[in-house]
């Protein structure tokens, strides 16, 4: 999966490629999906949610981690299956994840514990609100699409921090990257994407 579907495209960060080689994606999908776990496609994980396409995980991880120091504090919005969580924890980041659905949170927690890749904290709650008590964050990464960039994310982002997230636009969903410098956010559109919506409680 990593050599044929990711490394041959535009992903060259050795740390990201190593993490994706080491983390067994099939642990994070339902039993009936395990045969397809290493295809470069998103897969359903129940509750109308998906595990992201491996290439998209690699691309988003690269966008985030190349701009923040090793070991930085990261807020993960919509942790879902826990696969993105595992990648970031393996890479040595202090991860604080939030997931709206308690069933998914408990399911992913079991897998992460089994793999010894538990994040620093896991919270059940509305991703729009972030996790204020753990802020500020050097990086924020979201695996669900908001209608606009939530105000809480802007407030909880540290100076020189980075946000990588999909947002709905009039032309469809697009992945964006924001950087905070001198208290202001600059925005860069990266690519067209398709994610599940970031829903509220």
**Do the Cβ atoms of 40 and 105 come closer than 8 Å?**
no
81 in catalytic set: no
Q: Indicate the pTM of the whole model.
A: 0.93
For the chain, the helix, strand and coil percentages under 3-state DSSP, each to the nearest 5: 35, 30, 35
Q: Tens of pLDDT along the chain (201 residues)?
A: 555 555 556 677 889 989 988 999 999 998 898 988 878 788 889 888 888 888 899 999 999 999 999 999 999 999 999 999 999 999 999 999 999 999 999 999 999 999 999 999 999 999 999 999 999 999 999 999 999 999 999 999 999 999 999 999 999 999 999 999 999 999 999 999 999 999 886
CATH 3.90.1010.10 fits 2-192, yes or no: no
Task: Please name the helix (run of DSSP H) or strand (run of DSSP E) that holds residue 9, with its range, or none.
Answer: none
Tokens of 59: 């691309």
Task: Please name the helix (run of DSSP H) or strand (run of DSSP E) that holds residue 49, with its range, or none.
Answer: strand 49-51
Does the CA dihedral 67-96-144-21 come out positive or negative? positive
Task: Please state the separation of Cα 187 from the chain's center in Å.
Answer: 18
Of 52, 79, 81, 108, the catalytic one is: 52
In terms of phi and psi (left: phi > 0; alpha: psi -120 to 50; beta: otherwise), the region of 20 is: alpha
- 191: Cβ–Cβ under 8 A, 6 or more apart, which residues? 59, 174, 175
pLDDT of the residue at 2: 53
Through-space distance between the first and last CA atoms of the chain, rounded to whole angstroms: 36
Report domain extents, the chain.
2-192
Q: Are β-strands 172-181 and 184-192 bridged in parallel, bridged antiparallel, or unpaired?
A: antiparallel
């Amino acid at each position: 999966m990593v050599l044929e579907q990711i490394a041959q495209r535009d992903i060259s960060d050795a740390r990201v490629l190593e993490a994706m080689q080491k983390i067994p994606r099939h642990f994070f999908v339902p039993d009936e999906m395990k045969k397809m776990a290493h295809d470069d496609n998103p897969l359903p994980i129940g509750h109308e949610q998906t595990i992201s396409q491996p290439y998209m995980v690699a691309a988003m991880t690269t966008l985030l981690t190349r701009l923040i120091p090793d070991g930085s504090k990261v807020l993960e919005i919509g942790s879902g299956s826990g696969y993105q969580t595992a990648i970031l924890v393996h890479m040595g980041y202090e991860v604080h994840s939030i997931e709206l659905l308690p069933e998914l949170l408990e399911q992913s927690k079991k897998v992460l514990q089994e793999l010894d890749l538990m994040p620093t904290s896991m919270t059940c709650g509305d991703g729009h609100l972030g996790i204020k008590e753990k802020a500020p964050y050097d990086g924020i990464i979201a695996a669900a699409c908001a209608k606009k960039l939530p105000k809480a994310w802007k407030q909880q982002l540290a100076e020189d921090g980075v946000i990588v997230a999909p947002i709905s636009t009039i032309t469809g969903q697009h992945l964006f990257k924001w950087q905070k410098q001198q208290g202001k956010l600059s925005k860069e559109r990266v690519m067209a994407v398709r994610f599940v919506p970031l829903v509220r409680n």
